[in-house]
């Protein structure tokens, strides 16, 4: 069957086609009564007329779409943020257009370029801008789209900061209080700039406690479980193996615990392990994982709120929100072994 047109709607409602267009596009024109608007909307519903959102966006300049750039890997922390973004965007009347990659730098850069060129009202970066190639960074900085970045450092745009640097000091103090002095740090990331908030705070914690620190205790590896597993096997095979290990996220901490088990070591009797993100499953592990958690859905919601505010008040000052966090002390950390 032929799709109904605005002319069909106008004929059924007994009004002009221009009036139908004004009602559909929300034009505040005097002379269009509430009764007229009701007749037009009733005719739209009766005929099943579908408003052309693309054409409407071209006329108004608004797409009611938020682009989200997500460096996607198997981490529930990012999915929690995305869930918050989706819920808040929907409640604010926006759709979400997602660009992601699977730890492939070429794919990631291509997806980001594509998304930056799409018709969206604004962008949310769930990815460290500093970790991107200069070409992509310049493209984003020159973009006319408002941008909100979810980051561990600072940003050129409105941004939401994790706050994990302060949390790192607290969890390190927890390990110090248990008697640990040789604490390894598992820095498993896709780009060297990522996780520097936790790494720098880890180093600073030793200075704050007036304790000796050896840079060799920092172990760099890739972001996958296998990367963390192999790195931990290497760490624990050293003659002066650490008594505690702090991983940059829970995914790597879980792999570290497995490596310790495969070497015949007990967690926490031989090795204490802690992570970040408080992923949903870690409290059900044996042993349950000591970690730092944030309300990821709230982080996503705040990011959308910042973006919508920027769209509404484009000339306002740059805004920053620091996310809250909680240290969850569980079974994977214990007193230093004799």
pLDDT, one tens digit per residue, over 253-308 is: 999 999 999 999 999 999 999 999 999 999 999 999 999 999 999 999 999 999 99
Which CATH class name applies to 65-162+296-322?
alpha beta
Tell how many helices (H) and how many strands (E) occur in the chain. 12, 12
DSSP per-residue codes, 228-247: HHHHHHHHHTSTT--SEEEE
- Going by their DSSP bridges, the two strands 218-221 and 326-328 should be labelled as unpaired
Range(s) within the chain of domains with CATH label 1.10.260.40: 6-51
Closest CA to 198 of 133, 258, 137, 274: 274
pLDDT of 101: 54
pLDDT of 167: 95
Sheet holding 272-277, edge to edge: 218-221, 183-188, 244-247, 272-277, 290-293, 326-328
Per DSSP, 329 falls in state -
Range(s) within the chain of domains with CATH label 3.40.50.2300: 65-162+296-322, 164-293
Domain 6-51 grouped into CATH 1.10.260.40: yes
Please state the pTM of the whole predicted model.
Answer: 0.77
Q: Between 112 and 251, whose confidence is greater?
A: 251
Structure tokens, 312: 């509404």
pLDDT range class, residue 58, cuts 50, 70, 90: very low
Which CATH class name applies to 164-293?
alpha beta
CA dihedral 223, 224, 230, 235 (to 10 degrees): 40
Q: Report angle CA 50, 56, 57 to the nearest 5 degrees.
A: 130
CA dihedral 252, 258, 262, 263 (to 10 degrees): 50
């Amino acid at each position: 069957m032929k799709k109904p047109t605005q002319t069909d709607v106008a004929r059924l409602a007994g009004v002009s086609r221009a009036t139908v267009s004004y009602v559909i596009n929300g034009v505040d024109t005097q002379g269009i009564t509430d009764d007229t608007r009701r007749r037009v909307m009733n005719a739209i519903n009766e005929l099943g007329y579908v408003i052309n959102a693309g054409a409407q966006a071209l006329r108004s300049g608004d797409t009611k779409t938020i682009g989200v750039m997500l460096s996607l890997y198997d981490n529930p922390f990012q999915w929690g943020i995305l869930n918050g973004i989706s819920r808040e965007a929907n409640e604010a009347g926006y759709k979400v257009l997602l660009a992601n990659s699977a730890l492939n730098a070429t794919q990631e850069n291509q997806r980001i370029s594509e998304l930056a060129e799409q018709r969206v009202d604004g962008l949310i970066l769930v990815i460290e801008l500093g970790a991107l190639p200069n070409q992509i960074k310049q493209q984003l900085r020159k973009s006319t789209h408002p941008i909100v970045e979810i980051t561990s450092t600072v940003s050129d745009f409105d941004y939401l900061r994790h706050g994990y640097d302060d949390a790192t000091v607290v969890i390190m103090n927890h390990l110090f209080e248990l008697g640990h002095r040789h604490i390894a740090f598992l820095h498993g990331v896709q780009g060297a700039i990522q996780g520097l908030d936790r790494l720098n705070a880890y180093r600073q914690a030793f200075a704050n406690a007036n304790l000796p620190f050896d840079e060799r205790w920092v172990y760099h590896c890739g972001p996958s479980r296998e990367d963390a597993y192999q790195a931990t096997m290497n760490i624990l095979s050293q003659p002066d193996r650490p008594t505690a290990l702090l991983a940059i996220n829970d995914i790597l901490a879980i792999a570290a615990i497995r490596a310790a088990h495969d070497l015949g070591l007990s967690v926490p009797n031989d090795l204490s392990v802690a992570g970040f993100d408080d992923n949903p499953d870690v409290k059900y592990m044996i042993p349950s994982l000591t970690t730092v958690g944030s309300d990821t859905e709230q982080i996503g919601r705040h990011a959308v709120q910042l973006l919508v505010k920027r769209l509404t008040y484009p000339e306002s000052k740059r805004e920053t929100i620091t996310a809250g966090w909680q240290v969850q002390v569980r079974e994977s950390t214990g007193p230093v072994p004799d």
